[in-house]
Structure 1
Amino acid sequence: MAEEPDAEAAENWALVNTPLGEPWSGRARYAAAMVFYKRGEMNAETLEVYRICSRLDAEDPLPIIRDRGVGRDWLKRMGFTG
């Protein structure tokens, strides 16, 4: 049986918010970001930042997204005010 879309979104929301510094957390955030990109909820430039940060578990992608001037809607959704 296929997973409910809301359950999928909730699971990936938790993954995209995986705490910084945990082993494999960058890859988990990137995998979740890919889901949001495929759903049309994230643009390609924002996804690229998650890709770049995927091997850097302690790197927060949100300031980089802000500094690049991409993903304003995503930053708002994440509650990023930094």
Structure 2
Amino acid sequence: MTEAEDAEALEQWALVNTPLGEAWSGRARYAAAMYFYKRGEMDAETLEVYRICSRLDAEDPLAIIRDRKVGKAWLERMG
């Protein structure tokens, strides 16, 4: 991975972890989730949860992912 790719990955990681409740945070998390999905680091079911939550800034996608029992690898990565 190049330095630019490393920087992009770090930026996307920060965005996927945008605090709940901030204006436009759901959309930022979804955009970052799409980045990880395109890289093969997130499955489609997990991405769908981020899509659903994209207009709900205060909604925690990780809670929904847990409830749906999907995205086990993603949840492990998120710690």
TM-score normalised per structure 2: 0.95
Q: CA deviation at 1:33?
A: 0.2
Give the equivalent residue in structure 2 for 1:44.
Answer: 44
Any idea what the Cα deviations from partners look like across 1:18-50, whole Å, max 9, x if unmatched?
Answer: 000000000000000000000000000000000
Task: Structure 2 unaligned segments of length 5 or more: list them.
Answer: none
Give the equivalent residue in structure 1 for 2:65.
Answer: 65
Q: Percent identity?
A: 84
The number of aligned residues is 77
Give the equivalent residue in structure 2 for 1:19.
Answer: 19
Any idea what the Cα deviations from partners look like across 1:45-81, whole Å, max 9, x if unmatched?
Answer: 00000000000000000010011111001001001xx
Task: Structure 1 unaligned segments of length 5 or more: list them.
Answer: none
Quick one: distance in 1 between partners of 2:62 and 2:16?
11
* Structure 1 moving runs of 4+ over 2 Å: none
